[in-house]
Amino acid sequence: MNSVLRKFDMKGRSALVTGGASGLGLAYAEALAEAGACVTLTGRDLKNVEREATRLRGQGWDVRPFKADVAQPEEVAAAFDAHITVFGGLDAAFANAGLDAGAGFWNPATHSRNPQGQIDTFDHATWRKSMSVNLDGVFFTVAEAARVMKSGGRPGSIIVTSSIASSKVFPPIATPYMAAKAAVTQLVKQVALELAEYRIRVNAIAPGMFVTNIGGGYLQNPAVREAWGKIVPLGKMAEPEQIKPLALFLASDASDFVTGTEMVIDGGVLLGNFG
């Protein structure tokens, strides 16, 4: 293996991924495990996490399940403690768990306003639930990753799943989701500067239109995929498989001089359309 490819090798390393039972989180875990890392998968539904961990172990990879709700700081701490107990250290952590907050103020299918998505009518409980996972959960995960990496005394990488919603307005997307992702982007920059002294890198991945189960799986609908794909300059929505190389880059030594960044992977959506 030449010196460049060796930078991507994760043998002898370990990683923890929140929201790892499906979608992008599962793609992250698969990429890390394939590169040789031992991985802890966490999620709120233990059955789903155990199913995927068992499947990956069947491929010869060391993947362990753990039940944790990222909105509960004590559960996040327990997940990291369990990871250290099993693997002895932590080299990469993905703060990935997130949830949809419903529809935004505009329905593009009907070209009309969505009554439930208006700022003056939006359900307060939905706002808090979205923030508890999409922002608080990221904070708790990053904080625990920093705790165990600092105590371990070796370089580490923390990767947060942000969104292109952090820098572009999307009227069909609910306002709490937009606000949380924008806050996450600034959190990454602040913490990256704080942890640089410890050689702990903190970066974000900002996905565009990926086919995942978020929002109840409506993106799996071929008609929805086609409609969303029309606003992507590269012509279609992405599959989780396509995010794996970027995830591995940020988790591995290949990005050992990269911190405080938000790497966009959106097929050109932020460029806009000219057609």
The residues spanned by each domain of the chain are 3-266
- Please tell me the least confidently modeled range out of 25-34, 211-220, 227-236: 211-220
Q: Strand, coil or helix: what is 267?
A: coil
Is pLDDT at 51 greater than 60 in this prediction?
yes
Reduced to 3 DSSP states, what percent helix, strand and coil does the chain have, rounded to the nearest 5?
Answer: 50, 15, 35
- Catalytic status, residue 198: no
Helix 137-152 / helix 73-87 crossing angle, nearest 10 deg: 30
Q: Please compute the mean of the pLDDT values over residues 54-72 and round it to a whole number.
A: 97
Give the pLDDT band (50/70/90) at residue 193.
very high
User: CA–CA distance from 260 to each of 2, 148, 188, 231 (Å)?
Assistant: 28, 19, 6, 28
8 A C-beta contact, residue 234 and residue 275: no
At residue 216, the pLDDT reads: 56
% of residues, the chain, pLDDT over 90: 79
At residue 230, the pLDDT reads: 84
Q: Tens of pLDDT along 219-263?
A: 667 777 787 788 899 989 899 999 999 999 999 999 999 999 999
Is pLDDT at 109 greater than 80 in this prediction?
no
Given 28, 177, 198, 218, the catalytic residue? 177
At residue 212, the pLDDT reads: 82
- Rounded Cα–Cα distance for residues 219 and 228 (Å): 9
Whole-number average pLDDT of the chain: 93
Contact partners, residue 170, CB within 8 Å, separation at least 6: 104, 178
Is pLDDT at 215 greater than 60 in this prediction?
no
Q: Please compute the mean of the pLDDT values over residues 31-48 and round it to a whole number.
A: 97
Three-state helix/strand/coil letters over 71-121: CCHHHHHHHHHHHHHHHCCCCEEEECCCCCCCECCEECCCCEECHHHCCCC
Q: Kind and range of the H or E element at 200? A: strand 200-207
% of residues, the chain, pLDDT over 70: 96
Domain 3-266, CATH class in plain words = alpha beta
- Rounded Cα–Cα distance for residues 19 and 137 (Å): 11
Q: Strand, coil or helix: what is 44?
A: coil
At residue 249, the pLDDT reads: 98
- Rounded Cα–Cα distance for residues 37 and 252 (Å): 10
Q: Tens of pLDDT along 113-171?
A: 999 999 999 999 999 999 999 999 999 999 999 999 999 888 899 999 999 988 888 88
159 forms bridges with which residues in the sheet? 94, 203
8 A C-beta contact, residue 211 and residue 271: no
Radius of gyration of the chain (CA): 18
Q: Kind and range of the H or E element at 14? A: strand 14-17
